[in-house]
Structure 1
């Protein structure tokens, strides 16, 4: 499915002692029972280095379609002119996610065990496969039923980017050392990803694994450095709307099978 691997996810974790009942602060902070746990919040910048390795697009409900890209030499955008889509076998390419990749979590820790609710955002912009006379033309593709494009056998899809917003429930374990401020950790989680392709949002069941090391500056503040792998159980995305159906004789919608790894 749509997946992302990160080799450096840097976050700042701030925690505080839990006081869940009218007990004394000393009892609530001892750490020897349930009341010794703590809530925490974290924020992370986690650039994802993968790019799209496959992006297969076709007309919905059809086994075979033809995808054509916009002519690089045309200086205007006119999707009603079939001759402007002169590039046969076109496929979209997407940038690596280095700048727009963020995570945040709230959780509860008790001893070496933690459970957290994590939200993340990833954005992958469409890349141009060379120099286009008109900026943005790389985000356009014509889908046809026949190899030859005519005035009434194609519709146009526009994809500027793919975004993936995820909400995950993670279970984690920290290997604690009483004499060292450094603790390795491992997490596994499951949740949902909301993938936006051309304004069509599809919800997918997702999974995530994380490993790393945390360094404790103070009892309340830790710096976390690690990596993660995020994946989806299903690669298909349906009912991608047409940017312009022109004179297409039917329902102008596309299906996409995409993998980012």
Structure 2
């Protein structure tokens, strides 16, 4: 795809047309995606959970959407420190109990840090020997002793992600953390132990969801140009369905900008 021209978003660009390209930009996450909408687009029919015609495909698509949302959340909030919470003794094998324990953990940790809300994300993982444990990401330094005291149910590990190219900032670090967490999220859509419809495959702190900006235009290059102008740079990574073999859906694009 040729480089998109830098265009200034206008008020008209924010309106959703009946036909044309629409693009949702998440400025704080420096990421966005869009697709072409035809004027005769068929009406979507809501399918109840668990009754998809192709459950495997539906699970894969659900996992993809969850991973994208988690990645944007981590990037927007610069969650660049990755931790693990493990149970002592016989462990835990009850997903509902795990969620309750994690809610208590983050409330306690918040108190240790002064009481102000802070963004975080966590995902569960099954282990063959001791059942469940949790991986989490935060965006600030916290003493390991404070994390251990807040958890109080076993063992903890926390680290600032490194091993990145020289010049990488918090955004790149947060994307790396999101990549680790996303692997575990994907498992929750394919592992029978986690395919419990209606339960959260991951959780995040409320009040920190990344804001979105809706752009529209007559071409993919135009909406990418509007997004690039808003962010002040061209995308570092981009993907287009036009480069994908056997793509059956509407024309789609995705782009990611650097910090």
TM-score, normalisation: structure 1: 0.24
Higher relative contact order (CA 8 A, sep 6+): 2
The structure where strand makes up a greater share of residues is 1
TM-score, normalisation: structure 2: 0.24
The structure where helix makes up a greater share of residues is 2
